Structure 1
Amino acid sequence: MKIQAKRRSDFGHFHEITTRWMDNDAYGHVNNVVYYSWFDTVVNQFLISHQVLNIEKSNVIGLVIETQCNYFASVAFPEKVTAGVSVSKLGNSSVRYELGIFKADETEACAQGHFVHVYVDRESRRPVPLPEPLRLLLQSIKSDS
C-alpha cells in the first residue's frame, strides 16, 4: 500500500522553521534525524505557547514512546519549512500526534509522521491522566479521522 502525502488541511496548528547549514548532510539535503527534531519542536511549541506545559516545573510531562516518519521530497538549507501538528488519538494518559513538514507554500507534505507521548508524573515517571487544560487543548486540534 502506497502512503499518500497529507495536506496542510489535515493539520490544526503550524510553526515555521528555518533550516540551518548544519542540518544538511553529505548528500546535500536535510538529514533524516532533523525531521524528528522538527516534530518535537512543533509539538512542544504548541504546548508551551498555550501554557499547558512548563518544561521546568510541570508536574506532568510527556515522554515519547514511539516515532515514525515517511519522506516524499527532500529539503535543503536555506529553505524554510512549516511543521504542522494534529492529534489522531487521545487516550487517558497518552496522545498520538500526526505531523507534517511542508516546503514554502506547498500543500502536500514533503515528510510526515507521528509520535506518541505518554504523560507521566515528573517524579515517579508513572503514567497519569492528562490534565484537563492539556486535554482540552489537544481536543482543539484533534482530527476527525
Structure 2
Amino acid sequence: MREHYPHWQRVPTRWGDNDVYGHVNNVVHYAFMDTVINTWLIGAGLDIHGGPAIGLCVESHCSYRAAVAFPDALDAGLRVGKLGGSSVRYEVGFYREGADELVAQGHFVHVFTDRGTRRPVPIPDGLRAAMTGLVVP
C-alpha cells in the first residue's frame, strides 16, 4: 500500500526497456531499484565518489505482479525494512503512475564498507539518521 512508503520517486520507462514480449524486461526493475536507492542516498549526503564508506549490494530480489510497458511511468516508493549496524534492507514498491495497483516489489541489501579495504564499517551517522526516517514499522 502506498502509505507504507515514506519516499517517492517517479521512474519513466524507456523505449529500450521493452523486451520481445512487449513489456518491461525483468532486469530493468533491478536497475530502477538501484537508481531510486542511489538517488535517495546521494540526496541524503552519501559521497559516492570520495566518501570513506560505500554501500555494496549483497542481496536483491524482485516479485512481479503485473506487466508494465513503455510509455508507462512508475511511482517508486522507498522504505527501510531493516536497519542494522553496517547493513540496511531497502524495500521498493512500484505502482503505475497515479494508480494504487502494486506492479512489482523488491528489495536490496547494502552492506557499508570501507572504500579501500571493502571491510564492513558502521553506517555513517548522518546517513543512519536519514535512514531512520524511511523505517516503517
TM-score (norm. length: structure 2): 0.97
Amino acid in the other structure paired with 1:55: I
Q: How does 1:63-142 map to 2 (within 5 A)?
A: 63-142=56-135
1:14 corresponds, among 8, 19, 27, to 8
Q: CA deviation at 1:108?
A: 3.0
2:32 corresponds, among 38, 43, 49, to 38
Identity fraction in percent: 50
Whole-Å separation in 1 of the counterparts to 2:2 and 2:78: 10
Amino acid in the other structure paired with 2:57: V
Structure 1 unpaired stretches of 5+: 1-6
Q: Which moved more, 1:99-108 or 1:85-94?
A: 99-108
Amino acid in the other structure paired with 1:16: R
TM-score (norm. length: structure 1): 0.92
Query: Secondary structure of 1:110's match?
Result: strand
Count of residue pairs brought into register by the alignment:
137
Whole-Å separation in 1 of the counterparts to 2:75 and 2:98: 9
Q: CA deviation at 1:13?
A: 0.6
Whole-Å separation in 1 of the counterparts to 2:3 and 2:102: 11
1:23 corresponds, among 13, 17, 36, to 17
* Conserved? CA contact 1:24–1:31, under 8 Å: yes
* Conserved? CA contact 2:44–2:127, under 8 Å: no
Amino acid in the other structure paired with 1:92: G
* Conserved? CA contact 1:8–1:108, under 8 Å: no
